[in-house]
Amino acid sequence: MAKLIFILGDQLSLNNAALKSASKQEDVICMAELIDECSYAPHHIQKVAFILTAMRQYAETLEQKGWTLHYHRLGKLNSFNALVHHELSQGTYTEFSIQYPGEHRVKALFEEAANEADTPLTWFDNPLFFSTPSQFREWAQGRKQLRMEYYYRELRKKHSILMQSHHQPFGGKWNYDQDNRKAYDQAIKLPILPKNNGSDHPALKAVIKDINKHVKQPLFGRIDYFPWVTQRSDALKKLNHFIKHRLPYFGTYQDAMLHNHAFLFHSLISPYLNTGLLSAHECCEKAEQAYLSKQAPLNAVEGFIRQVLGWREYIYGYYWFQGPAYHQQNFFEHNHPLPSFYWTAETNMLCIRSTIEGIQKYAYAHHILRLMITGNFALLAKINPQDVCNWYLGVFIDAFEWVELPNTLGMALYGDGGALASKPYIASGNYINKMSDFCKACIYSPKESITDIACPFNALYWGFIGTHQSKLKCNPRMSMPIRTWGNFNKHKQQALLSKSSQLIESIEVL
Ligand code: FAD
Ligand code: DLZ
Ligand code: SF4
């Protein structure tokens, strides 16, 4: 009797563990393009088109390799539940097999469907990560604080990555962050933008046509320029190109921001890693090799490996560790609605306008833009975290809940009260001015706080400190701004608090 193997839109690897467990002679592989999955978040058109095109191309590979495949194109089925019922009406299966999905929601849907069908369901760990949710749980057990740095060091040792000996990291230090905080200074020429892989890509064109026909909910963004690829062989080329041409400068300019360059020296590999087109192992191995062959310096290689082996693995474990109720947390009790410029980019704040225009165009913004521009503003303007998370889940090509939620709710919004981040990532216009070229061309001035031309980030920053002192004062890393706030005279405090409230009230016209 056959097993039914489900492969989801973010599991497109030939090393998929459920696929590996299957028999070509007996078992059936099932994949589906589902209306509900295209509409449950305010997705970017490039995200939906990327996933569906990659699914179709992966399915072709499976068929060429001789697998029996039930592939459902967009328009036939709405939901995972409908898919399970449809498959059961066509055949009898002893078991369902599936690799762990990227969301609690999807896991619950399959558990419910298998239960209803009275069919055993086997989950498999995703082998494209270095670690599993249960290994993270074991590591987390009994720890007062779950900090990425310590998880990262364990994984470096366990997998012997960038290690001189079992306990000694290359260069003698675990962390080169101090060298990795430069604004862009033109010392190195900016990389050329990735080419448009959209307009002459027949598979992508066919998918866009199907999306326009079947997905009724309007999608976010544009797709006239599509810098992404949709097959593993091309994703590998993109990775190799990054390692050769941009990795050497990745560390130095990791935190830099530019008005007219959305990508700088970043790798642009997150959509491929998150859908199974690339594995974390090969990304780290290639980066390590670049260091060993003296093609990239240690600060760059360690900086990159810290993102993939450190942050990405930690975030994955953390998401499953926190469980399905995590998304409801709202430590600061912020409840203002998301401003409409998060969708339209229509604001005079150039840092926000430029970031959101980039997202509309590419479904992408690099980490510091996500954290210190759109995330920082949402936190300072006291926007409801659930609204913010919904936006992040939709608008980025690489967004799946396991990675979006801890980054947005935990890291950017401090919505879990510091379980993930050691302090709120907040900054005034001064930081943005130091790290970018936005402020030079903005109608607001980062040097002013109260006047009509004052940068809104400034009064919002102090308004945030002023209103949340009691919640922040137990965090030693916040003692400096709290002390500074305390040293302001009452008149200045009052002026900043009322300017901050005014800005929040008039947010739509900023
Ligand atoms: P690079 O800067 O070149 O980094 C290399 C790789 O490291 C990335 O591809 C990614 O796989 C990994 N990485 C780096 N930082 C993180 C991190 N904090 N968490 C997990 N992996 C990391 N990343 C997503 O993949 N999906 C998301 O939905 C997502 N949402 C985010 C939301 C917020 C508020 C913030 C602050 C960060 C978010 N990130 C998310 C993390 C990070 O911003 C992106 O992984 C990165 O910008 C992707 O671009 P890149 O491939 O050019 O990354
Ligand atoms: C995001 C997404 C989209 C847009 N479409 C599909 C789809 O049609 N079929 C599918 O299997 N998965 C899709 N996904 C990914 C899911 O929403 C969800 O994030 C993953 O199934 C979690 O593992
Ligand atoms: Fe952004 Fe303020 Fe700079 Fe304008 S002045 S770009 S709003 S930080």
Q: What is the pLDDT of residue 179?
A: 81
Distance of CA 441 to the CA centre of its chain: 29
| Closest ligand by atom to 38 CA | 2
Dump pLDDT digits (tens) for 39-90: 999 999 999 999 999 999 999 999 999 999 999 999 999 999 999 999 988 8
Using a 6 Å CB cutoff, which residues line ligand 3? 349-351, 429, 432-433, 438-439, 442, 444, 446, 455-457
> Which runs of consecutive H residues, i.e. helices, occur in 65-201?
80-90, 104-117, 133-140, 148-158
Looking from the CA of residue 103, the nearest atom of ligand 2 is 22
DSSP assignment of 214-246 equals H--SPPBS--SS-----SHHHHHHHHHHHHHHT
| Contact assessment for residue 423 and residue 475, using Cβ atoms and an 8 Å cutoff | yes
Amino acid at 54: A
Q: How far is the CA of 21 from the centre of ligand 1 (A)?
A: 30
Q: What is the pLDDT of residue 199?
A: 66
| Closest ligand by atom to 457 CA | 3
**180 is written with which tokens?**
């990795």
Helix, strand or coil, per DSSP, at residue 281: helix
| Contact assessment for residue 399 and residue 392, using Cβ atoms and an 8 Å cutoff | yes
Q: What is the pLDDT of residue 480?
A: 94
Residue range 365-372: mean pLDDT, rounded? 98
225: left (phi over 0), alpha (psi -120 to 50) or beta: beta
- Is 106 a pocket residue for ligand 2 (Cβ < 6 Å)? yes
Q: What is the pLDDT of residue 413?
A: 98
Dump pLDDT digits (tens) for 229-247: 999 999 999 999 999 999 9
> Which runs of consecutive H residues, i.e. helices, occur in 420-472?
429-435, 456-472
Residue 353 reports pLDDT greater than 80: yes
Strands 93-99 and 2-6: parallel
Cα–Cα distance, 424 to 421 (Å, whole number): 7
Dump pLDDT digits (tens) for 248-297: 999 999 999 999 899 999 999 999 999 999 999 999 999 999 999 999 99
Q: How far is the CA of 445 from the centre of ligand 3 (A)?
A: 7
Q: How far is the CA of 102 from the centre of ligand 2 (A)?
A: 9
Q: What pTM value is reported for the model?
A: 0.97
Cα–Cα distance, 321 to 319 (Å, whole number): 5
Q: Count Cβ neighbours within 10 Å for each residue of 392-408 and write b for 16 or more, e otherwise.
A: bbbbbbbbbbbbbbbbb
Using a 6 Å CB cutoff, which residues line ligand 1? 266-270, 273-274, 304, 307-308, 311-312, 315, 366-367, 370-371, 375, 392, 396, 398-399, 403-404, 407-408, 411-412
- Is 34 a pocket residue for ligand 2 (Cβ < 6 Å)? yes
Q: How far is the CA of 37 from the centre of ligand 2 (A)?
A: 5
Q: How far is the CA of 236 from the centre of ligand 3 (A)?
A: 37
